[in-house]
Amino acid sequence: MHIFVTGGAGYIGSICSERLIDSGHQVTIFDNLTEGHRRALDPRAKFIEGDLANREEILPAVKEAMPDAIMHFAANALVGESMTNPSKYFRNNVAAGINLLDAAVEAGVKKFIFSSTCATYGTPERVPMDERLPQKPINPYGQSKLMFEQVLHWYDKIHGLVHVNLRYFNAAGASVKFGEDHRIETHLIPNVLKVALGQKEKVEMYGDKYETPDGTCIRDYIHIHDLAAAHMLALGSKTSVSYNLGSGEGFSVRQVVDIARKVTGHPIPAVVKEARPGDPSRLVASSHKITGELGWRPQYPNLLQIIESAWAWHQKFPNGYGD
């Protein structure tokens, strides 16, 4: 298949593009490089530099490519920033995404895989979290992703655009060539590894009074290769559907730091800071639906393996992509 990938210069998009090509698919990447990196582009893919906010750039790009499917990763994804600049998130994650949908309709594309998030659920009513939970976002980032899911619903009803919403929990790990390098790094594992690399003095743990065994927040981590595998399986879906993507196992902040110490051999000093408002104590996925319907099985469910792959990449590229 020919897959049109938006955000293919970013962390998840770059590795999914790599796995698509390794599996025999043709890939065209569309990215404006504001958050992604030119060095994260798989050289085997065709690259189009452009902005989804500009209809005059995305419409001809999709029509020229005439892809069999679109995988949409491009988005702003900083929860804190969304609380101070909601306009950016609704413009880029919703309005710009609609430009992509219009291009898909004009080009006759009938399959759309959307990079969504567990943030659409907000604070969950129960854990593990399955797809039957009500979606009640507590920040503009989660709201923008939910809004786009809702737009997709109507593009299916009206235009027959079959879509799969993949609601990620915490993507982590790396391939041999590509890894996690955000311009503003908020994710726990890369920040912990920056301490081991000597680029930060200590890791900050936000809150230690949560109702968890060690008092720190518990999160579900999924290896980026398992995430990519789910995207490829989603290409075979005949109907529009939503799936949660996680390992089904939660690890606390302290556990992540302890495993990183074991992997890196570094003491990794940690300090406790004030808890952040709105941080749920526990976010763990139930991925039974995608397992039952598409046969998805995580191949790297062990957090040790995930951190080992990330550490190998960060040692090889201590300054990330350097652009």
Helix, strand and coil percent figures for the chain, each rounded to 5: 40, 20, 40
Residue 91 CB burial class (10 angstroms; 0-12, 13-18, ≥19): middle
Q: Which of 11, 89, 121, 141 is catalytic?
A: 141
Alpha carbon separation from 79 to 75, 124, 137, 138 (Å, rounded): 12, 17, 11, 10
How is residue 259 written in tokens? 């495993």
DSSP letter at 294 equals: H
Amino acid identity, residue 318?
Answer: P
Measured N-to-C along each axis, helices 303-316 and 188-196 cross at an angle, to the nearest 10 degrees, of 50
DSSP letter at 252 equals: E
Per the CB < 8 A criterion, the answer to whether 176 and 313 are in contact is yes
Who's near 246: CB < 8 A, 6+ residues apart? 118, 168, 169, 170, 220, 221, 222, 284, 285, 286, 287
**How do 170-172 and 162-168 pair as beta strands?**
unpaired
How is residue 154 written in tokens? 């109507």
CA-based torsion, 280, 285, 289, 290: positive or negative? positive
How is residue 210 written in tokens? 């949560």
Per the CB < 8 A criterion, the answer to whether 101 and 155 are in contact is yes
168: annotated active-site residue: no
Per the CB < 8 A criterion, the answer to whether 189 and 261 are in contact is no
Task: Please list the active-site residues.
Answer: 141
